[in-house]
Amino acid sequence: MFNKSAELIEQKYLERARNLSVALLCDGVKKANIDLRNNGCMEAAIKPVAPGMTMVGTALTVQTGNGDNFPIHLATYSAPSEGYVMVIDGKGFESRAYCGDLIMGACQAIGFEGMVVDGYTRDREGNIKLGFPVYSKGFIPNSPIKKDEGNVNTEIFCGGVKVNPGDLVAGDSDGVCVIPREYIGQVLDLAEEKLAYEIDRSRTIEAYREAKRNGKELPQLAPQWVLDMIK
Ligand SMILES: O=C([O-])CC(=O)C(=O)O
Ligand SMILES: [Mg+2]
């Protein structure tokens, strides 16, 4: 099945998401009480090809298996793709790489924001040189097959999380999370609240560090909720 790509997520939401870590976005999903495995956070096995890679975009989904990358080629060249993150359900297939730096380079040239592979990739050095954000389960040099059409833009599972075309996908050095489209505004509000809490905590920790350095009386370092739980 080959479906049209979902409408791009509004820029104002994408910009807000870019100012938040993936950890904060997952905290937002948790606070919103959305029934999503691991708060939308993909399995730890899905890692950035290099630390420092970050991406935020609208999900374009691909479903394949058996190390077959024909569906990835279909999605790359046949769907309008600027602003999308290609999320590939490769069923964790371990014996072949789904893609390398040629497809990645093409995706980058077209304007994809990044790629997530529930499976393995190759051409790691070339991928790092491109600076194209890719998240995968690891690397294997063995080449993909090109055979079946698979599915493009259908509901998939990637890294244990349900992904629909049009969902928000974000990645950083910690990993990848997915926010279902209908919850984006609510999750961003809650993630920003958590960010405000974290900024406040960092200030307290810095004040403690400063007092200790200067031999001053030490301020309370433990958060109030910890003190309440100890009581
Ligand atoms: O040959 C392939 O299909 C996968 C690959 O290594 C690339 O895209 O660079
Ligand atoms: Mg290659």
**Residue extents of the structural domains in the chain:** 11-181, 189-230
How confident is the model over 105-130, as pLDDT tens digits? 999 999 999 999 999 999 999 999 99
Judged by DSSP in three states, 63 sits in strand
Ligand 1 centre to CA of 102 (Å) is 6
89 lines ligand 1 (CB under 6 A): no
Residue 35 pLDDT: 87
The number of CA neighbours under 13 Å toward the Cβ of 88 is 35
- The rounded mean pLDDT for the chain is 96
Query: What is the value of pTM for the model shown?
Result: 0.95
117 lines ligand 1 (CB under 6 A): no
Query: Residue 231: its pLDDT value, please?
Result: 84
CATH architecture, domain 11-181: 3-Layer(bba) Sandwich (3.50)
Answer yes or no: is the C-beta of 102 below 6 A from any ligand 1 atom.
yes
Examine the pLDDT at 79 and tell me if it is beyond 80: no
Distance separating alpha carbons of residues 45 and 227, to the nearest angstrom: 35
* 80 pLDDT above the threshold of 80: no
What is the pLDDT confidence band of residue 30, given thresholds at 50, 70 and 90? Answer: very high
Residue 169, pLDDT score: 98
In whole angstroms, how far apart are CA 106 and each of 119, 127, 228?
A: 19, 12, 54
The pLDDT of residue 139 is above 90: yes
CB contact at 8 A, 75 and 62 = yes
Task: Give the E-state strand segments of 148-213 in sequence order.
Answer: 151-152, 156-158, 161-163, 168-172, 175-179
Task: Give the Å distance between the CA of 156 and the centre of ligand 1.
Answer: 23
pLDDT average, residue stretch 79-96 = 93
The residues pairing with 177 across neighbouring beta strands, listed in sequence order, are 41, 170
- Say if ligand 1 is within 6 A of residue 150 CB: no
Residue nearest to atom 2 of ligand 1 (CA): 99
